[in-house]
Homo-oligomer: A and B are copies of this chain.
Amino acid sequence: MDINQTLPQVDLPPNMIHLGLGQPSNHLLPIKELEKAAAHCLSKENSFFLAYGEERGNANFRQTLAEFLTGQYPNPVDPGQLMITNGNSQALDFICTLFARPGDTVLVEEPSYFLALRIFADRKLNLVSIPVDDNGMVTDVLKKKLETLKPSFLYIIPTYHNPASVTLSFKRRQDLVKICAQKDLLVVADEVYHFLNYTDDPPPPMGNWIDKCPLISLGSFSKILAPGLRLGWMHTSPDLIKKMTMSGLIDSGGGFNPFTSEIVNSVISLGFLKANIQRLKNVYHQRIKIFCDQLRIHLPDQAVFKVPQGGYFIWVRLPDNIDTKSFRKAAQKQNVDFHPGALFSHKKGLKNYMRLSFAFYDEEVLAEGARRLGKVISENLS
């Protein structure tokens, strides 16, 4: 078996175990369910979803999605609070077009999702970061920063953070909303991992507070169904949706993904989404156990990490004087790889960290990866 599954964005030597990869295993992509859903939706007489779509997304899909989210969240979601996107990367890009200009300041977390940082860099935005601790973004620091700064928006990954794997506490969520309401600061919450909890439920998603401060909660089918669909949603206030649907891009192209939306509408209606999420949670939970056990066995004591409660990632901290990037080549020589911490810092800090993930490989491969990584780290700490 080719452990690297010959996926399009994964171009690796056959025996390499790249523990940094943040995408699901090929065999976890539910093609049979999509086949049934496509047959279900395309056998209909009504082909409205082949025309230019409603600006905010197909009405019936938003209805189905709102019902699904209402079943998952502590508070009801209304279809009028949803706008369909091509996934969170496109949503972030779109938000940059509408809410920021080159040179504007945007607040991010330290660490933050490295490819969001790249999207912001393409827009020539000026990034300022707020540190993250075990309870997520340190809201006291945010408050302080906002005494002098006037950012265009704040980008946060509140739940099962990428890469830090921490979750913003309920108390901090309330603080964040209060602070941003006072300053009229738009919060862009990337909640892509919200449904992937392996222990207790997380706090309510930030979408819970859309009537309390300017806030867009980004959801996606990439982690709970398939990234190749390029489908997601924004959960936000009707006022912000109205503003966004008036953009030239939407006016010209119509809603973002009407065809795929209708197929995913069938996926949800046929009950496949709920079943798929449960299946993923079972698989990932099992992987975490094995992987963390093996990491504890093979990594030296100076490599510290917490067992993730959800999401995709393990964030490993090494002693302050270590730059994980410095032994990446040595790791690759031993057929193991990781994402060095500095990737996740807009100011190239966090050099002593590395991001690992258990989304892509099966347990056996993860165990072997942990063994190889332990060896490399041990050799480079001594």
Residues of A within 8 A of B (CB): 6-9, 23-24, 26, 29-31, 34-35, 38-39, 42-44, 47-55, 58-59, 86-90, 92-93, 97-98, 101-102, 113, 115-124, 226-230, 247-249, 251-260, 263
Roughly how many angstroms separate A120 CA and B29 CA in the complex, as a whole number? 38
Check B248 against A122 for contact (C-beta < 8 Å): yes
CB-contact partner of A86 in B31, B50, B58, B86, under 8 A: B86
Q: How far is the CA of A58 from the CA of B86 in the complex (A)?
A: 17
Partner of A226 from the list B50, B87, B124 (CB cut-off 8 Å) is B50
Number of identical monomers bound together in the oligomeric complex: 2
- Beyond A6-B48, A23-B51, A101-B102, 12 additional contacts (C-beta under 8 Å) are A7-B48, A8-B54, A9-B55, A34-B42, A38-B263, A51-B228, A86-B90, A88-B253, A118-B248, A121-B248, A226-B259, A228-B254
Q: Are B29 and A47 in contact (CB under 8 A)?
A: yes
Nearest CB in chain B: distance from A41 CB, A: 9
Can you list 17 contacts pairing A with B, beta carbon distance less than 8 Å?
Answer: A7-B48, A7-B51, A7-B52, A9-B55, A31-B47, A35-B42, A38-B42, A39-B39, A51-B227, A51-B228, A86-B256, A97-B97, A118-B252, A119-B249, A122-B249, A226-B259, A230-B256
Assess A54 versus B118: contact at CB under 8 Å? Given A35-B39, A43-B35, A230-B253: no
The docked-state distance in angstroms from the alpha carbon of A354 to that of B269 is 45
